[in-house]
Amino acid sequence: MASETDHSLGEAVAARVERRWATLSIIIVGLLVGMAAYIGIHQATMPQGRVETADPKTLHLSGEFIESNLGSEMQADGSVTVRAIGQQYSFTPQCIVVPAEMPITFRATSADVVHGFLIEGTNVNTMLVPGYVTDLPVRFKAAGDHVMPCQEFCGIGHQGMWGKVKVIDKAAFRDLAAAKRRLTCVD
Amino acid sequence: MSDQPLFSVRNPWFRTSVGITVVIAVLSAIAGLIWLPLAQPNLKLAGVWDAICSAAGVPRAALQEAAVKPDFKTSNVVMTSEMLTKVNQVSIGRGATLAQRCAICHGPQGVSDAHSPNLAGQFAAVTYKELNDFKTSARVNVVMSPFAAAMSDQDMKDVAAYYAYLPRVPSNNLDTRRPAPAVVVTGAPMRNIPPCGSCHGDIDNKAGSPWLGGQSAVYIKAQLEAFASGARRNDISQQMRNIARQMTPEEIDQVAHYYEAQP
């Protein structure tokens, strides 16, 4: 049977160990929250800040996703907005033209089922969900061509569904935008 | 130790651990719901409450900015997979009477050799959509447009129901042993062409896509060429133009003759 002194000694050791473990756990939790915040600010994961809805059945009747409004638009503040839709089994516009080194916002949605929106060679990778608008800020570093395959199985013709993204020089884009209000590179 | 209650504010361990957890939760909520949303200028938030609602995922309708209107008519049909799939005998009967004026080109049984579409057994939603598009001038044809202009919405639904009710009749060119071209079965994935069969019924059917078996090759070819050139634009959001533009003249020829030979 342990004496009174032994018991208080054991209690002190247990309390010390508990305190260290608690401190370590709190540091780990704090570090994880800090990491999430840092990634959020620097857009490594690009979480979408807003939930916007759009009826997939009536996209072609009115609103920003009507056929003639799709493509790249030069905004008054110097940024570019690109609107696109995914449908079984193509993207419209089939070829998207954007400038390099300028802030770009992709706004896209689906007209039928869930499609994937991925631009090869960049960190653009999200989903087009029917009923919701995907809104994504992007900046392309250099001119060049990228493929944009649907990366979410969307039906039996899924493998044939992809688009092109053509990144061109800033000045060349401005010239194109001066001549036409919505730009695409569909031939 | 044993006389001290575990879950009590008098227990310093309980007090400290719960206190720290609450502090982390509050700080995380402030960071995630207020600070991070406000740190994104492109969200254009109206204030703290807007930031909290946005971050919490409260849905709202997309802003209706001034859209560029088309300089041509587009289809205004709202296509769903349930559209006109319920059989209605009254509608079929009315349609049979109305369809007499269609017989000169489309045949008394919905089949003819006039290179106009064979309508017997066609999906009702397809016939209805095309009639409606002719009526609204989203699709234009010197023969069809005047007929559709005089039809009411119910007339178009009845005619569509009647033709959907008629049995499909194989064409004179029926040849089921004809091998299917690659573009029908597998498409051409490298050129953004899905298989024709993934929408037109051989493999799967997408709402609004016509059944092509037994259609005139001349007609199929003319429509594919019209989609490719942009002369025909009543396909919703370019779904058929995107594909026809990528097809070679040989492929168009192959699919036209293949579908003509199908039942």
> How does pLDDT run across A96-105, given as a tens digit for each residue?
999 999 999 9
Q: Is A154 within 8 Å of A161 (Cβ atoms)?
A: yes
- Amino acid making up residue B198: S
pLDDT higher than 70, residue B2: no
Instruction: Flag if A158 and B194 touch (Cβ within 8 Å).
Output: yes
Instruction: Flag if B198 and A88 touch (Cβ within 8 Å).
Output: yes
Contacts of A49 in chain B (CB under 8 A): 37, 40, 43, 54-55
pLDDT higher than 80, residue A1: no
- Cα B212 from Cα A9, distance rounded (Å): 88
Lowest mean pLDDT of A28-42, B82-96, B103-117, B175-189, name the range: A28-42
Angstroms from B180 CA to nearest CA on chain A:
16
pLDDT one-digit tens code per residue, A72-115: 999 988 899 999 999 999 999 999 999 999 999 999 999 999 99
- Cα B191 from Cα B178, distance rounded (Å): 25
A45-64 residues touching B, CB cutoff 8 A: 49-54, 57-64
Mean pLDDT, chain A, rounded, equals 90
Q: Is B184 within 8 Å of B258 (Cβ atoms)?
A: yes
- Cα B91 from Cα B159, distance rounded (Å): 8
What mean pLDDT do residues B18-36 have? 90
What is the CB neighbour count within 10 angstroms for residue B96?
16
- Cα A33 from Cα A93, distance rounded (Å): 39
* pLDDT number for residue A149: 95
Cα Rg of chain B (Å, integer):
29
- The confidence band for A5, taking pLDDT boundaries of 50, 70 and 90, is low
Angstroms from B4 CA to nearest CA on chain A:
14
List the single best residue of B42, B74, B136 to mutate versus A (max A Cβ within 10 A). Answer: B42
Angstroms from A19 CA to nearest CA on chain B:
9
What mean pLDDT do residues B209-226 have? 94
List the single best residue of B58, B82, B192, B229 to mutate versus A (max A Cβ within 10 A). Answer: B192
Contacts of B57 in chain A (CB under 8 A): 51
Contacts of A58 in chain B (CB under 8 A): 78
Of all residues in chain A, what percent carry a pLDDT higher than 70?
A: 94
- Cα A10 from Cα A7, distance rounded (Å): 5
**Among B16, B59, B71, beta carbon nearest to A53:** B59
Instruction: Flag if B237 and A186 touch (Cβ within 8 Å).
Output: no
Contacts of A85 in chain B (CB under 8 A): 237
* pLDDT number for residue B35: 87
pLDDT higher than 60, residue A4: no
**Among A18, A62, A111, beta carbon nearest to B237:** A111
- Amino acid making up residue A95: C
**Secondary structure (DSSP) of chain A:** ---HHHHHHHHHHHHHHHHHHHHHHHHHHHHHHHHHHHHHHTTSS---S--EE--GGGTTTSSTTSGGG-EEEE-TTS-EEEEEEEETTEEESSEEEEETTS-EEEEEEESSS-EEEE-TTSS-EEEE-TTEEEEEEE---S-EEEEEE--S--STTGGG-EEEEEEE-HHHHHHHHHH-SSB----
Which chain A residue has the Cα nearest residue B208?
Answer: A88
Instruction: Flag if A89 and B198 touch (Cβ within 8 Å).
Output: yes
* pLDDT number for residue B7: 86
pLDDT one-digit tens code per residue, A146-185: 999 999 999 999 999 999 999 999 999 999 999 999 999 9
pLDDT higher than 60, residue B1: no
In this prediction the ipTM stands at 0.86
Contacts of A163 in chain B (CB under 8 A): 192
- Cα A123 from Cα A39, distance rounded (Å): 13
Strands A80-87 and A71-74: antiparallel
- The confidence band for B243, taking pLDDT boundaries of 50, 70 and 90, is very high
Strands A71-74 and A144-149: unpaired
What mean pLDDT do residues B170-178 have? 86
CB pairs under 8 A between A and B: 154
- Using the Cβ of A10 and the Cβ atoms of chain B, whether some distance falls under 8 Å is answered with no
Angstroms from A3 CA to nearest CA on chain B:
15
Chain position carrying tokens 């800033």: A170
B238 vs A50: which has the higher pLDDT: B238
Q: What is the DSSP letter of B58?
A: -
**Residue A148, burial from CB neighbour count under 10 angstroms (0-12, 13-18, 19+):** buried
What mean pLDDT do residues B196-220 have? 92
pLDDT one-digit tens code per residue, B71-88: 999 999 999 988 998 889
Contacts of B204 in chain A (CB under 8 A): 155-157
- Cα A77 from Cα A74, distance rounded (Å): 8
* pLDDT number for residue A92: 94
- Cα B239 from Cα B200, distance rounded (Å): 13
3-state DSSP helix/strand/coil % of chain B, to nearest 5: 50, 0, 50
Instruction: Return the closest-CA partner of residue B154 out of B135, B175, B174.
Output: B135
* pLDDT number for residue A46: 62
pLDDT higher than 90, residue A186: no
What mean pLDDT do residues B14-40 have? 88
pLDDT one-digit tens code per residue, B48-77: 999 999 888 888 877 777 788 989 999 999
A129 vs B24: which has the higher pLDDT: A129
Of all residues in chain B, what percent carry a pLDDT higher than 70?
A: 99
Residue A135, C-beta contacts closer than 8 angstroms, at least 6 positions apart = A48, A49, A50, A52, A105, A106, A107
